[in-house]
């Protein structure tokens, strides 16, 4: 794990030196510490987790690489935590994917989740921040994640989610004007998620 983080840091530094965007190992790696963005005020968890969210677009994500029909399910569990699952269909063989973990509220700010995601191939568990930057609960949600890597670098992820598989143009226009046109996020980093002809098995 430490070796992977070091490799990502070195690759990011090299790419930024020559002026190439730092898409490292399917992720966005940037210099500096994680910013402290504002999240959804007066966030209502019950409204947010009642139904699944479809991924409309996202930043590059290593554990969702080569997937379509991607969605996020967040459900209560009997153990007191929330179950968060990133589901999809692989574009290579059409098989289902499911990255599942436990999510916990930051009870100081309910709009901030901490997701503990087991990674069997690395025999470890990743702690992923999952902050709800904005949502109207009915149409869209903008979720952001940032994880520190080695000293001086961070990995960012962003998901534009919808209650339906497509987002109305008027909703996108609002989100774009609030968070992309004038910052702090870059629409050019977003990758559209193919939500066509998706099977019901996920």
Q: How far is the C-alpha of 146 from the C-alpha of 115, rounded, in Å?
A: 12
pTM, entire model? 0.84
What burial class does residue 69 get, using C-beta atoms within 10 Å of its C-beta: 0-12 exposed, 13-18 middle, 19+ buried?
buried
Q: What residue spans define the domains of the chain?
A: 34-192
Q: How far is the C-alpha of 183 from the C-alpha of 102, rounded, in Å?
A: 31
What are the pLDDT digits (tens) for 14-57?
Answer: 333 333 334 444 579 999 999 999 999 999 999 998 779 999 99
CATH of the domain spanning 34-192? 2.40.128.20
Mark 105-143 as b/e (b = at least 16 C-beta within 10 Å). eeeeebbbbbbebeeeeeeeeeebbbbbbbbeeebbbbb
Contact 54, 71 (CB under 8 A): yes
- Give the per-residue pLDDT at 156: 94
Residue with tokens 């339906």: 164
Q: How far is the C-alpha of 134 from the C-alpha of 10, rounded, in Å?
A: 33
Average pLDDT, the chain: 84
What are the pLDDT digits (tens) for 162-176?
Answer: 999 999 999 999 999
Does position 7 have pLDDT exceeding 60, yes or no?
Answer: no
């Amino acid at each position: 794990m430490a070796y992977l983080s070091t490799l990502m840091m070195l690759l990011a530094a090299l790419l930024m030196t020559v002026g190439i965007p730092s898409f490292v190992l399917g992720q966005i790696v940037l210099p500096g510490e994680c910013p402290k963005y504002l999240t959804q005020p007066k966030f209502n968890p019950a409204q947010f987790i009642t139904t699944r969210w479809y991924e409309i677009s996202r930043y590059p994500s290593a554990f969702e690489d080569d997937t379509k029909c991607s969605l996020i399910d967040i459900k209560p569990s009997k153990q007191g935590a929330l179950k968060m699952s990133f589901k999809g269909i692989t574009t290579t063989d059409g098989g289902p994917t499911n990255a599942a973990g436990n999510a916990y509220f930051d009870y100081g700010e309910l709009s901030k989740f901490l997701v503990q995601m087991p990674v069997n191939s690395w025999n470890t568990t990743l702690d992923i921040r999952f902050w709800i930057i904005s949502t109207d609960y009915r149409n869209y949600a903008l979720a952001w994640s940032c994880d520190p890597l080695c000293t001086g670098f961070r990995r960012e992820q962003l998901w534009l989610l919808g209650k339906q598989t497509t987002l109305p143009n008027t909703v996108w226009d609002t989100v774009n004007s609030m968070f992309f046109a004038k910052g702090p996020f870059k629409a050019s980093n977003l990758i559209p998620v193919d939500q066509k002809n998706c099977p019901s098995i996920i």
